[in-house]
Amino acid sequence: MPQFRAPIRDFEFILNEVLNVQQYKEKGLKGFEDVDDNLISALLDQGAKLCEEVLFPLNQSGDEQGVSFDKGNVTLPDGFKEAYKTYIESGWTSFTCDPAYGGQGLPEVLNMPIIEMICSANLSFGMTPGLTHGAYNAIYMHGSDEIKQRYLPKMVDGTWSGVMCLTEPQCGTDLGLITTKATPNDDGSYNIDGSKIFISSGEQDATENIIHLVLAKLPDAPDGVKGISLFVVPKMWVNEDGSIGDANGVSCGSIEHKMGIHASPTCVMNYEGAKGYLVGQKHKGLRAMFTMMNEARLYVGIQGLGLAEIAYQNALEYAKERLQGRDLHGPKYPQKKADPLIVHPDIRRMLLIMKSFCEGARMLALQTALKLDVEKRSEDEQEIEQADHFVQLITPILKAYFTDMGHEVANLGMQIYGGHGYIREYGMEQYARDARIAQIYEGANGIQALDLVGRKLPKDTGKYLRSFFHPATEFVAEHRENSDMAEFTKGLHTALKNAQQASLWVAANGMGDPNEAAAASVDYLKLMAIAVMAYMWAQMALAAQKGIKENSSDSEFYEAKLDTARFFMKKVVPTQYGLLATIVEGAKPVMAARL
């Protein structure tokens, strides 16, 4: 049976010792007024308790039982409805939401650990509240005051959930092909007619109402994506006083039978004269929806990290306990019939790939969340702009790299388990199955790579790139003379040099032929991701060295952190060279080949 222990010490290290989030309280950033060590510890402890004791025990049983469908009604697996009730009663749905609608107004950087723990403990469970938060953001940013007052309070307290409805049978990425129609009524509402597919949590029995954000086209809509509008369409009509009225022409036609996340319903949703209201401006719905999608892409990236973390935890314990073969230098445990797996170099290699990803990705996730907080809460225009540029650049990198690595780490875990990893009892095969979808939804990873080379790299002659390269280069310059940091600044310098060379090649060659940038895009994203992760590891190495000097009682934690940083710099950063070599070979081997 798998186990899960929340990585609280690692969260505390990054939040307190690397990012020093308390400094934003001193700077007067909104939402940080009460942030201190006690609050951070309390939130992490309570989040860990929820995930370890309530959500994780339902993960395997939920996967095996799955959701059920009967005449349009979807029932979640045993225990899920009760767990959701516990979740909302604990206030987790209101964590970062505006107090004007019943939220707690806490910063995103403190919410990110909770999201990661939920993804580790029970990814299927996390889908419903995660999508609700995205729907909340879209309505909060683009809805009228009337719409916000009518829908947000119940979404904030978790009584109602929210979903995003984009995909149709004939279109996924190319949303300009949607055919769902919106017909205006005399009272200012619209009738929505059409079908959507692959709607996660489109129907379930845990919430009183489900608020659908639906992309549709008005009768006078221009062709393509410029003709898309966004509508809020509740499953049950909501009266002006906020009470629930009659059913609203929204029905679930079927659910998908899929590879993973079995405890999360993936629905075909039908809208037959369903009544809704316009969110934002006519024909500008895609912009409003991307408010939801961009943040959702960060959350999907965390799904990859969460599954990687639990895969690593269990693979590590298995490698310590499973006796197989002998150490190549002779028996490490002669009193036993064999040595544990962990003595073997290849097992250690796989575990360190897993560990270095999880810890480096956690740092990047929290730093990105902190930038989101600065962007949303700061009153300094320059600070807001710099934070926005960083988030814009990192979003496709984080979504694609974290989910690619989440699947890879889960598969490495299966490899360490051997045949036991392939059977259900040990749980590892579920993580591999669950992780696979994250590479596809919220914009397939190839699309993220195209976004990086097509939009983010060339934006205003590289202003988004500078949000990363400038501080990372300054870090190298600042600590170059520190002999203790030499091995880490050298690795970071190498990573930056490779990333800059790749960026120049893609920019120069992509201008003449967009296929050159597109063919290089996936390799370029991974190369950039390694450079960004190297910067994360260099910052953590510096904090770990400081920790050793100031907190000798926890020296084992800090020494392990430095060991993992060395592995990343010496074994992961050099993989950039192969990626760079592939990039500069150009598009011809791809585009001219006969298929």
Kindly state whether residues 91 and 176 are assigned to the same domain: no
Domain presence at residue 193: yes
Give pLDDT, residue 561: 98
The position carrying tokens 């009967």 is 70
CA angle 472, 476, 480 (to 5 degrees): 170
Kindly state whether residues 457 and 583 are assigned to the same domain: yes
| Beta bridge partners of residue 238, listed in sequence order | 244
- Which one of 260, 284, 308 terminates a domain? 284
Residue 28, classed as helix, strand or coil, is: coil
Residue 551, classed as helix, strand or coil, is: coil
Kindly state whether residues 526 and 591 are assigned to the same domain: yes
Kindly state whether residues 114 and 219 are assigned to the same domain: no
Kindly state whether residues 177 and 126 are assigned to the same domain: no
Kindly state whether residues 116 and 244 are assigned to the same domain: no
Residue 578, classed as helix, strand or coil, is: helix
Q: Where are the beta strands (DSSP E) in 431-547?
A: none
Domain presence at residue 152: no
Domain presence at residue 43: yes
Give pLDDT, residue 105: 96
Q: Residue 123 maps to which CATH number? A: 1.10.540.10
Kindly state whether residues 173 and 116 are assigned to the same domain: no
The position carrying tokens 């609700």 is 132
| 3-state percent breakdown (helix, strand, coil) of the chain, nearest 5 | 65, 10, 25
**Cα separation of 213 and 260, whole Å?**
25
Number of domains observed in the structure of the chain? 3
Tokens of 539: 């910052």
Q: Residue 146, Cβ neighbours under 10 Å: how many?
A: 11
Beta strand 160-165 pairing with 209-216: parallel
**Cα separation of 202 and 111, whole Å?**
24
Active site residue 442: yes
What's the Rg (C-alpha) of the chain? 24
Beta strand 190-200 pairing with 181-184: antiparallel
Q: What residue spans of 322-427 are helical by DSSP H?
A: 345-377, 381-417
Residue 331, classed as helix, strand or coil, is: coil
The position carrying tokens 């902190």 is 370
Nearest to 391 by CA among 371, 366, 363: 371
Kindly state whether residues 589 and 462 are assigned to the same domain: yes
Taking every pair of Cα atoms in the chain, the longest distance, rounded to a whole number of angstroms, is 84
**Cα separation of 297 and 516, whole Å?**
26
Kindly state whether residues 591 and 511 are assigned to the same domain: yes
**Domain around 267:** 161-284
Overall pTM surpassing 0.85 (yes/no):
yes
Domain presence at residue 332: no
Give pLDDT, residue 552: 78
Q: 317: exposed, middle or buried (C-beta count within 10 Å: 0-12, 13-18, 19+)?
A: middle
Give pLDDT, residue 176: 81
Kindly state whether residues 167 and 81 are assigned to the same domain: no
**Cα separation of 13 and 545, whole Å?**
12
Residue 328, classed as helix, strand or coil, is: coil
**Cα separation of 529 and 357, whole Å?**
11
Contacts of 80 (CB under 8 A, 6+ apart): 58, 62, 125, 206, 263
Domain presence at residue 185: yes
Kindly state whether residues 137 and 165 are assigned to the same domain: no
Cβ–Cβ < 8 Å for 247, 236:
yes
CA distances (Å), origin 328, targets 111, 318, 336, 349: 45, 20, 16, 15
Domain presence at residue 328: no
Cβ–Cβ < 8 Å for 255, 263:
no
Q: Residue 252 maps to which CATH number? A: 2.40.110.20
Domain presence at residue 68: yes
- Which one of 226, 257, 284 terminates a domain? 284
Kindly state whether residues 111 and 197 are assigned to the same domain: no
| Buried residues in 269-292 as b, exposed as e (16+ CB within 10 A) | bbbeebbbbbbbeebbbbebbebb
Backbone angles phi, psi at 214, to 5 degrees: -115, 130
Tell me the torsion sign for CA atoms 475, 481, 484, 490: positive
- Catalytic residue (one of 108, 203, 442, 516): 442
CA angle 288, 126, 85 (to 5 degrees): 110
Give pLDDT, residue 288: 82
Residues of the chain with pLDDT under 50: none
**Cα separation of 230 and 280, whole Å?**
7
Cβ–Cβ < 8 Å for 414, 420:
no
Domain presence at residue 243: yes
- Which one of 249, 267, 284 terminates a domain? 284
**Cα separation of 560 and 443, whole Å?**
36
**Cα separation of 60 and 83, whole Å?**
14
**Cα separation of 4 and 121, whole Å?**
7
CA angle 388, 7, 401 (to 5 degrees): 45
Give pLDDT, residue 173: 81
Helix (H) or strand (E) holding 273: strand 266-279
